[in-house]
């Protein structure tokens, strides 16, 4: 596998072939994906502006035509130099959904019994009318119809995130696209986040294939009582409380409050509260991969063997119950690091499962 990079202006014109000294790509479920390239100063002439879209192409491990695997608009640029080191320009970039964090609703919008896909697509279309967002939102099954009202100033990326997070909401990933008008695609996944990656397995500990070299685990207590606050103030403020009594009986009471000041419908507020419930303890794992993806340790290849949202086989054999696990588990993010030769290494993985 190898990577190649290019920088386009906002009109889609290729302005430079980029040869980074290093790069990283982090692909995430239910969050924008990010990338970063570091370029020697002599090769960074066209990267001194935030009005650039970076694109990373990658050849499959089995060979064949290169595939677009990462796109992102520059989110800020850092240049550094010293008397005994090369000048280095580092460009972090975020996909088009992440860039919508810089956009707000400019006219009140009300939706009655519309699908989440329609609401998200319409919000993006309104922003495209102001200035191109670079985000496509193709039609998709996205869950039951919703009622929503968005007032002036509502952050557009936050609105999309909240549509996904409600009870019986949807999953999503942001995919790159080779299109000057839209460099990212909001891919909505409903009702499941992904598939069963049968060929992908990660193992750590004695008696395993050992393709992981280290891991960390966090155990989070449940959230079994949620009070949500909506629009209004004082006694007139919209509010609702939901609980999971079996979880309270087992673990004790764990309260959480959330605020959605733009929500004016009680049913909508209740959906947000229900989605914030986490009745079970949750374990998250962060792992260190032991070798490059083409090594003898049988490290699965991201994008080809598994993707975020997929379930993979995870076998952990530690002395502590916290570090012992044997089951399928969902991949919530992965990071690949690319060196100056364009060679990729799987640098990090995050998994999530109920305890």
Per-residue pLDDT reduced to its tens digit, 26-84: 999 999 999 999 998 877 888 888 999 999 999 987 788 899 999 999 998 888 887 76
pLDDT, one tens digit per residue, over 176-194 is: 999 988 999 999 999 999 9
**Same domain as 255, residue 178:** no
Final residue belonging to a domain, choices 234, 255, 276: 276
Same-domain check for residues 339 and 326: yes
Query: Are 175 and 211 found together in one domain?
Result: no
Summarize pLDDT for 275-300 with one digit per residue, the tens.
Answer: 889 899 988 888 888 765 545 558 89
Are 45 and 72 contained in the same domain? Answer: yes
At residue 325's C-alpha, the angle toward residues 287 and 330, to 5°, is 60
The helix (H) or strand (E) run that includes residue 159 is helix 156-165
Q: At what angle do helices 116-130 and 156-165 cross, to 10 degrees?
A: 170
Residue 250 tokens read as: 């087992």
How far apart CA 237 and CA 278 sit, in angstroms, is 25
Number of H helices, E strands in the chain: 5, 22
DSSP 299: P
Q: Does residue 114 share a domain with residue 30?
A: no
Same domain, 15 and 148: no
Percent of the chain at pLDDT exceeding 70: 96
Do 230 and 326 have their domain in common?
Answer: no
Cα separations (Å) of 203 from 21, 141, 213, 324, 351?
A: 31, 35, 9, 11, 13
H helix intervals, 198-298: 245-251, 266-276
As given in the structure block, the two tokens for residue 177 are: 């696209």
Can you give the pLDDT at residue 80?
A: 87
Among the three residues 94, 122, 154, which one is the final residue of a domain in this structure? 94
Residues 79 and 214 in one domain: no
**Pick from 49, 69, 94: which residue ends a domain?**
94
Cα distance between residue 53 and residue 96, in whole Å: 10
State the burial class of residue 67 (Cβ atoms within 10 Å of its Cβ: 0-12, 13-18, 19+): middle
Q: Is the peptide bond before 29 cis (omega within 30 degrees of 0)?
A: no
So what's the pLDDT on residue 264? 83
The number of beta carbons lying within 10 Å of the beta carbon of residue 125 is: 11
Q: Which of 184-188, 309-313, 339-343 has the lowest mean pLDDT?
A: 339-343
Among the ranges given (92-101, 170-179, 202-211, 328-337), the one the predictor scored with the smallest mean pLDDT: 202-211
Same domain, 108 and 239: no
Res. 354 pLDDT band, cuts 50 70 90: low
pLDDT for the residue numbered 291: 62
- Of the candidates 98, 184, 100, which has an alpha carbon nearest to the alpha carbon of residue 137? 184
Question: Is residue 214 located within the same domain as residue 230?
Answer: no
Q: Is the pLDDT of residue 91 over 60?
A: yes
Q: Please state the domain count of the chain.
A: 4
Q: Nearest 5 degrees, angle CA 319-CA 323-CA 329?
A: 145
Range of the domain at 207: 196-220+281-354
User: Residues 205, 289: one domain?
Assistant: yes
For residue 106, the model assigns a pLDDT of 94
The count of other CB atoms within 10 Å of the CB of residue 235 is 5
Verify that 206 and 324 share a domain, yes or no: yes
Helix (H, G, I), strand (E, B) or coil at 346: strand
Residue 263: per-residue pLDDT: 85
Q: Identify the CA nearest to 322 among candidates 251, 216, 247.
A: 216
Q: pLDDT tens digits, residue range 197-254?
A: 998 999 998 888 888 988 899 999 999 999 999 888 888 899 999 999 999 999 999 9
How much is the mean pLDDT over the chain? Answer: 91
Helices 156-165, 266-276: inter-axial angle, 10-degree rounding:
70
* Cβ neighbours around 78 below 10 Å, total: 11
């Amino acid at each position: 596998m190898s990577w190649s990079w290019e920088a386009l202006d906002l009109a889609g014109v290729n302005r430079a072939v980029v040869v980074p000294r290093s790069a990283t790509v982090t692909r995430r479920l239910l969050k924008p994906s990010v990338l970063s390239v570091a370029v020697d100063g002599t090769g960074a002439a066209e990267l001194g502006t935030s009005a650039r879209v970076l694109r990373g192409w990658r050849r499959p491990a089995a060979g064949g035509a290169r595939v677009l695997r990462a796109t992102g608009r520059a989110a800020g640029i850092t240049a550094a130099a010293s008397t005994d080191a090369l000048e280095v320009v580092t460009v972090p970039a975020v996909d088009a959904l992440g860039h919508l964090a810089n956009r707000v609703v400019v006219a009140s919008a009300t939706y009655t019994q519309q699908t989440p896909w329609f609401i998200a697509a319409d919000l993006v279309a309104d922003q495209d009318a102001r200035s191109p967002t670079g985000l496509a939102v193709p039609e998709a099954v996205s869950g039951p119809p919703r009622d929503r009202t968005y007032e002036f100033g509502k952050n557009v990326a936050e609105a999309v995130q909240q549509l996904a997070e409600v009870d019986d909401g949807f999953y999503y990933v942001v995919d790159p696209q080779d299109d000057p008008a839209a460099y990212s695609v909001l891919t909505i996944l409903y009702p499941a986040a992904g598939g069963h990656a049968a060929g992908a397995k990660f193992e750590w500990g004695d008696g395993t294939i050992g393709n992981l070299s280290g891991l960390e685990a966090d155990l989070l207590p449940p959230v079994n009582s949620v009070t949500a606050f909506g629009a209004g103030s004082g006694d007139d403020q919209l509010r609702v409380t939901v609980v999971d009594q079996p979880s309270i009986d087992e673990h004790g009471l764990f309260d959480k409050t959330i605020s959605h000041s733009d929500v004016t419908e009680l049913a909508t507020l209740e959906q947000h509260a229900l989605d914030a419930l986490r009745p079970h303890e949750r374990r998250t794992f962060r792992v260190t991969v032991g070798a490059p993806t083409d090594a003898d340790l049988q490290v699965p290849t991201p994008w080809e063997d598994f993707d975020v949202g997929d379930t993979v086989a995870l076998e952990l054999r530690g002395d502590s119950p916290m570090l012992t696990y044997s089951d399928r588990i969902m991949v919530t993010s992965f990071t690949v690091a690319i060196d100056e030769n364009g060679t990729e290494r799987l640098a990090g993985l995050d998994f999530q499962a109920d305890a």
